[in-house]
Amino acid sequence: MTQAVDAMENQIIALSREDITQKFATVGSCCLIILIYMDLLYVRNLGAGKCVLGRKYGRTFVTDQVNDVDKLQDEPARFHFQRQHPKPHAFTADDSGVFLVKGKVKVSKSLGDAYLKYDDCAIQAPDLVRFHIRGQTSRPYLTVEVQSSAQTGRLLSRPAKFVIITLNGLWDFLSNEEATRIVQTHLKEGIARILIQEAQKVVARINRYAYINL
């Protein structure tokens, strides 16, 4: 899994350096890789992805979050980032209190986003001014590295009934417990669509839209 991530990252960075428009250097993505081998589940997470297991003990369902989430809004991730980048303004908070790396992104791990990793990928193009970063960095602000503990396989014993694998588009609006409850109380066919619809209903309520209009 580590080799696969490194290979993808190396190709993306190479393309970023070849692109004279510099637009490709601004492109990045969170990435969540799941490998199930025998009775073990392995997770490699870059960014805001989350893998949640639903386990059933008797009549009780238990939510089991497999991996840590790399969002600066979470204090452990923010503390780790500060240790790596102790200089001022490595991250800032926007008007709504959301922490952002160099005022740009919410996470400190991603594929791509070369302009936040290497000085030779820094954006100079006038039409991409919102990606301009002041000064140089001695080390990348974003990485594809994960702590070794994240590589440990999680045993999928009989109590494990299902696994939810998704990025923050869902988890920004549903808690682990809410998502687990939805899955356990619906037929499994089409359950991914139902999860998305339930998250959309939350968005509609927050923005005071009728769901059908959204």
Structure confidence by residue, pLDDT tens digits, 43-61: 888 888 899 998 888 878 8
Average pLDDT rounded to a whole number, residues 62-88: 84
Question: What pLDDT score was predicted for residue 29?
Answer: 92
Q: Go through the domains of the chain in sequence order and give each one's CATH number.
A: 2-172 (3.60.40.10)
Token code pair at residue 102: 């160099």
Q: Which of 9-13, 33-37, 85-89 has the lowest mean pLDDT?
A: 85-89
Q: What percent of the chain has pLDDT over 70?
A: 95
CA 82, CA 185: separation in Å to the nearest integer?
Answer: 42
Which is nearest to 29 in space by CA: 12, 10, 11, 4?
A: 12
Yes or no: say if 152 and 66 are a contact pair by the CB < 8 Å rule. no
Token code pair at residue 141: 């602000």
pLDDT tens column, 110-165: 999 999 999 999 999 999 999 998 776 778 999 898 654 445 677 777 788 889 99
More confident residue, 88 or 113: 113
Does pLDDT of 68 surpass 60?
Answer: yes
- pTM for the model stands at 0.80
Q: Are strands 28-29 and 111-112 parallel, antiparallel or unpaired?
A: antiparallel
